Structure 1
């Protein structure tokens, strides 16, 4: 396998499971040196054990904490003296709720992780980036089309897309790209249908023309493309990966 990301330092949030884990594993196989984070302290060692051996680092913390994000990014710079790419993948999947049923706590939880966390990491990284660096941010199809019962989640993911497009405009003149992945129904441990069980997952799969949910590996392949030179003229792009939603 080509080591086309050899010696590139790549920060991945949400690396403890699902899309974040799959992307970290594939990047390590392509030679990347990883700085991984997740809120779950027990999942990161497992991710690292599945990655190709390398001078990787990891830290478990809540990306909703500004201080924790700043500290982690500085630790990356202190260790490697550079940072090449950022994969903002951490997020919380939604629960179906009517707007009047949404509590302040639920609103704060989703917006803090899905949007503020991405902002915290991005702001901390920008001063250390040079031309050729890039962000790939994970939004959702819920950031492109409204869905009844998911107002908070949609708000957070619409926000991810809007914020990311602004970063593309701000950072593009410095040779730094920002692109967005909008996954559809992906078979991850935190997907609401997967959590509910086989029948719910089958109902969700029937809404896809392929007749199945996507896999984290398939999203990881798209992230790798967006980090690579093949996508060098893509900036501010939102790429859907949904298997053809009916």
Structure 2
């Protein structure tokens, strides 16, 4: 008989970007499944973890700038010392420009280019490089990218470049780590209904029209991204590595709107 083996009980799970909407959905899923969840973000995680522990969950917060390699090194070492291992690394932290900063390449902000590449790409590299030494056989890395890394959008050259690089980085490390029985995969969310995107949709009527390009006719939810991430991280996906998986309601196969 075939069974779906999805259990995270006692697994040590590190989630970056844990204070954002998608990150919060992941924290909820993994804590409720009895994992030991390490919440990392620049702010808010220490207090949020304390609240979760008061409810009986095993959550621990670190204030972490993932672009600070030494700080990342210290967090990974501290987690490994306290809990003995790192079973799952979810590189969820990332940034993009808002509508006011979007521009063609010749007018794109150098400051934003540097910032996005540093957080989205370098941050993913830092966390991966420094977590892997503590990851046993059967561990998993899940990098949260974007459909923009698959089909780029105009006016977002930095985000498109960073996320495409994350996709290829993940496939490269999947090959490197496979002999050590560590898997690495990518989840590429489409438009997800979190506070930031909801505000953008309210303020920009053109964005609302994008629903017509999504075959499922709606935005996704943080819970749906968390569910996809959990499957990829679980033992049920034990033969899955190097995959780049869009979770976008069919957007990338249904007429992707580029002028956005």
TM-score normalised according to structure 2 size: 0.87
- Which among 7, 12, 15 is matched to residue 9 of structure 1? 12
**Deviation of 1:48 (Å):** 5.8
In structure 1, the partner of 2:153 is 147
SS of aligned partner of 2:185: strand
TM-fit CA distance, 1:199 = 5.0
Q: Determine whether 1:190 maps to 2:187.
A: no
Query: How many pairs are equivalent?
Result: 243
Contact 2:105/2:157, CA 8 A, preserved across alignment? yes
Whether the aligned pair in 2 keeps the contact of 1:25 and 1:50 (CA below 8 Å) is: no
Q: Is the contact made by 1:38 and 1:44 (CA closer than 8 Å) also made in structure 2?
A: no
**Shift in Å at residue 47 of structure 1?**
6.2
Match of 2:115, SS state, is: helix
Counterparts of 1:222 and 1:3, CA distance in 2: 12
**Displacement of 1:196:** 5.3
Are the equivalent residues in 2 in contact too, given 1:16–1:47 (CA < 8 A)?
A: no
Q: CA deviation at 1:53?
A: 2.5
Residues 1:48 and 1:142: Cα distance change in structure 2 (over 3 Å)? farther
The CA RMSD measured in Å over matched residues stands at: 2.0
Which deviations, in whole Å up to 9, do the C-alpha atoms of 1:15-66 show, x marking residues without a partner? 0021111011101111100111011x23553366368623321111211110
Task: Extract unaligned runs of 5+ from structure 1.
Answer: none
User: Residue 195 and residue 50 in structure 1: after superposition, are their counterparts in 2 closer, same or farther (change >3 A)?
Assistant: farther
- CA-CA distance at 1:146 after TM superposition: 2.1
Pairs within 5 Å for 1:70-219: 70-95=73-98, 96-191=102-197, 194-195=199-200, 197=202, 200=205, 202-219=208-225
Alignment partners' CA distance in 1, 2:48 and 2:21: 12
Structure 2: stretches of 5+ with no match in the other structure: 255-260
1:15–1:90 contact (8 Å) kept in structure 2: yes
Give 1:68 shift. 1.1
Q: Secondary structure at the match of 2:196?
A: coil
Larger mean Cα displacement after TM superposition, 59-68 or 216-225: 59-68
Q: TM-score, normalised by structure 1?
A: 0.92
